[in-house]
Structure 1
């Protein structure tokens, strides 16, 4: 067999594996979600229909098709349909700002969009739109396209240090190799498994989740409402007897009370954890639980540029680590001269092997900067600079030490601080800006500092929300007359003031009134790490986000007996409005107008 530099034997394309799964068990449940259930035969028909509709419009190998479909069976059908047409999918999250989606679509050069006109917005880039629920006419399924192993499978955008997101293009052979490696390393156990698809389709961790149908597993698509409610999520996992759940350490913190012990039916849940460093207490807790009949946890590590995962470790012992390389990946800890470091010495992690991405779409300079000539591989091979600082233990395991640049991880998402700074600087009222990563009382967050001081305010927050997705919005924006500089004329981060603890969410004197407003203000103060929360404070303007909203709901229920849904925090972000909603629920409940459960 002739192979490309640093390649490996070709593994079966996932579409071929899907067709084999359909032949083996057409009546087994393939996917279930908020919009229903499909067995393998039905998923085969639906994805083939979409592929035929795309092919009828000339879509084929090498093309890129945007997918903007709500989470559910229809999303799995759309992604698989794009692959069956031979094209690459480009996820466009409908919750992202329109300007960002337009840029991503244009940068990717999409030829079509799968997604209905539910939100009334025009398709990004003016591309042809295929409504997955519409009858496209005589597009009877035919033979699937025959893409080559080097054809793209997807383009997923990550935060970019240039101020714009960058699209990472990954080939079909790389995805096939990833699945083979995860199976060989026993991260994926023999089918049939029942997989909870938890990650956003815009996050590369979704690839080892939704595409599990291609190996014969059942995929349970966790809807947005279930993802945001720990009780509902735990009930959903039990209802469908989910065996595998992928999640971040931040999400685990909210689910631990519901998932730490054995499941009611005796099965052992497998937790595939990644997206951000695992705190030592979480590592030890799950290591202990694994030895006592609780969930079995694995730590998975890998950059988007290396096809999701390159290393895995089972939770064992007392100290977190990244473990060992997956089959097909080579991990090198190098110093500044690209020489291997000795065990215990810090270096930058470089990844080689046959699963490296093609590079960044339309960014040849950045691609050349990050994907460099591999000094350890055959001629023509490349190696990827991760920017992660690591060291090897005496046992050969990798320990994560931090970043060598200004990239951070927030709730599993990769964020370049320079992109947030560019968004702040693009606001007309801002002349200069800097963003720092900080761990406050409410957890990891971003703090923005802007000059002039009068620039910080609600208008600035509204403008940022039009440019950046939620996970990239600063929790605080502090106005300054000037940025502090050291004697060398460079920014002095240590001289930047801490954010004010008294929010500007309402006028002076709008203090919480009555037991319900006072109760919510008390919980917000603790969860957000704020003082001086007013009745007119806005939860999200104070730095709240989806995971903190979950904490609010959990604390109100656990400690005070107040029952609300996570979506209520989104519907009523102003404290006074949320309190009125809680009071209305209490008045309509048997327990009377106390805002508490009966008997509490």
Structure 2
């Protein structure tokens, strides 16, 4: 059994040690800005002093509503210095979502670049450049809260997961212990949103002395910009979901690269491609698995061989594959995964019932303890690795985001009396089948105002009634194909319309598309837009941005823009 208590020092302590040991090393940088470890430590101390002057105390929550950049790192570390937990409030989330999180977790104040933000009414705010008296960091224990990150809730209400400082210390320790984080200094690309738990294992690497590069939105989403950023900043390590990596992979020319994939299963094709890249020394890839409730990563596997798996449990993690009676199942038999150890979170903010349901007594711990019921079905392999099988409930993962369909269904029901929906995942998209008096455009606007972008269904499909099983339950398998009633439109004409039509059809997984089709109405999302840009560049050598796709969603308009850009580039090259 793994020793639960060998987790290493507190992450803030490690950061301060790194600042003392390498004060002139670049700690964090973003487009047009950068700070050494000494400069960052000074800024953290100044902001922490200002937070304490405003009443922040150990155990409080501090909201952080900042765009991606060096100020974001400063704010997160400053919250820790006061003994508080940070609560990321993504500026791109709808106002109502942010307002709910503020009401739910009750932050003492919010760090934001705008000192008069209308969307943060009812809570005190402070700017990241605020300066207060310098004092030593507040002492904490491993049980103190480190952050609160909100995930989708099955009842329609997001739930805030309270992770601990000991859990973050364990995260760093366990990835170092298996060699995923090497001893030498690395340059780490921070790719994930701060409101997504994968961000913790990216930005917190600054605590071990690594340099963190905060990629901006364009660098994250545009294949050419992504690849250029890797080369320009000298990034050695980057983390992504498999879907995101496949979208930006064509722009990667930075070799060799250590790649961490997580958030969703790795397809067999991508696994084999990365395994081959590993054999050639181009990419060293790891597959990571873990729920938010267990501080990001619980298992890992080097991507080698032909068969995808999630690897063995990391040090500090105890994994149990159990049947319905909480008995351990043999190797090769599917059961539900339960996780125990110091990385298990405290529970959910203001949700004692749900906390008791998901965080259960650990019958295998000699001195007592808790284990987290993941809801994931897995099975042991003979070599000690775990193989992911699927979910035991309706929860789905789409593009790395954990999604409870019930939260979206509740938002649809709140749109208008008599409206209801069933939400399912189709390939890499969410589809909402809606009944009732529904204006689809108005419903989409309603959902966009209530939910983060990753929870807004790509397709809204009106149906007369939900299909039912003989037992009177909704028959998910009986829901219609959302494209079954597709009628013909204008056929693409000419070289550029036909090229774009081929690219769109391939990216969308459709047999055909029409010249008057709207890319996003067909169910596209930002990762698909990235793939379109990459494919056009491959076919024509013409560099576009994903903004070009968003600004011209109709196929005929986008094809005309591609034509004009391609012809203009060719004419310029001939001069």
Q: TM-score range by the shorter chain?
A: over 0.9
The residue that corresponds to 1:122 in the other structure is: 118
Within-5 A mapping of 1:161-560:
161-259=154-252, 263=254, 268-428=256-416, 430-439=418-427, 444-452=428-436, 455=438, 457-500=440-483, 516=496, 519-530=499-510, 533=513, 537-560=517-540
Partners of 1:502 and 1:579 lie apart in 2 by: 26
Partners of 2:452 and 2:198 lie apart in 1 by: 18
Partners of 2:322 and 2:529 lie apart in 1 by: 41
Partners of 1:577 and 1:428 lie apart in 2 by: 35
Distance 1:513 1:464, change over 3 A: farther
The residue that corresponds to 2:127 in the other structure is: 131
SS at match of 1:70: coil
Residue from 29, 40, 45 that aligns with 1:43: 40
State how many pairs are aligned.
573
CA positional deviation for 1:457? 1.9
Higher relative contact order (CA 8 A, sep 6+): 2
Distance 1:510 1:459, change over 3 A: farther
CA positional deviation for 1:580? 5.8
Contact 2:222 2:248 in 1 (8 A): no
The residue that corresponds to 1:591 in the other structure is: 570
The residue that corresponds to 2:544 in the other structure is: 564
Contact 1:31 1:218 in 2 (8 A): yes
Instruction: Could you tell me which runs of 5 or more consecutive residues in structure 1 were left unpaired when the two chains were aligned.
Output: 1-5
What TM-score do you get using the length of structure 1 for normalisation? 0.90
Contact 2:223 2:249 in 1 (8 A): no
Partners of 1:80 and 1:144 lie apart in 2 by: 10
The residue that corresponds to 2:29 in the other structure is: 32
**Is structure 2 residue 22 aligned with structure 1 residue 22?**
no
Partners of 2:510 and 2:277 lie apart in 1 by: 34
The residue that corresponds to 1:92 in the other structure is: 89
Distance 1:519 1:293, change over 3 A: closer
CA positional deviation for 1:417? 1.2
Distance 1:52 1:438, change over 3 A: same
CA positional deviation for 1:296? 0.8
Partners of 1:396 and 1:321 lie apart in 2 by: 11
Partners of 1:531 and 1:461 lie apart in 2 by: 26
Distance 1:460 1:510, change over 3 A: farther
What TM-score do you get using the length of structure 2 for normalisation? 0.94
Partners of 1:468 and 1:537 lie apart in 2 by: 26
SS at match of 2:570: coil
The residue that corresponds to 1:150 in the other structure is: 143
SS at match of 2:472: coil
CA positional deviation for 1:95? 1.1
CA positional deviation for 1:542? 2.2
Partners of 1:61 and 1:238 lie apart in 2 by: 41
Distance 1:63 1:311, change over 3 A: same
Contact 1:11 1:176 in 2 (8 A): yes
Q: Please list the CA deviations of residues 542-564 of structure 1 after superposition, one character each: whole Å capped at 9, or x if unmatched.
A: 21111001011112221134432
Distance 1:50 1:211, change over 3 A: same
Contact 2:500 2:555 in 1 (8 A): yes
CA positional deviation for 1:268? 2.4
Distance 1:530 1:13, change over 3 A: same
Superposition RMSD on alpha carbons, in Å?
2.4
SS at match of 1:466: helix
Comparing 231-240 with 204-213, greater Cα deviation is found at: 231-240
CA positional deviation for 1:336? 0.6
CA positional deviation for 1:466? 1.1
Contact 2:6 2:316 in 1 (8 A): no
Distance 1:318 1:521, change over 3 A: closer
Distance 1:225 1:258, change over 3 A: closer
Q: Please list the CA deviations of residues 206-240 of structure 1 after superposition, one character each: whole Å capped at 9, or x if unmatched.
A: 11111111111111111110011112111211222
Partners of 1:75 and 1:335 lie apart in 2 by: 43
Q: Please list the CA deviations of residues 187-223 of structure 1 after superposition, one character each: whole Å capped at 9, or x if unmatched.
A: 1111311111111111111111111111111111111
Partners of 1:430 and 1:141 lie apart in 2 by: 58
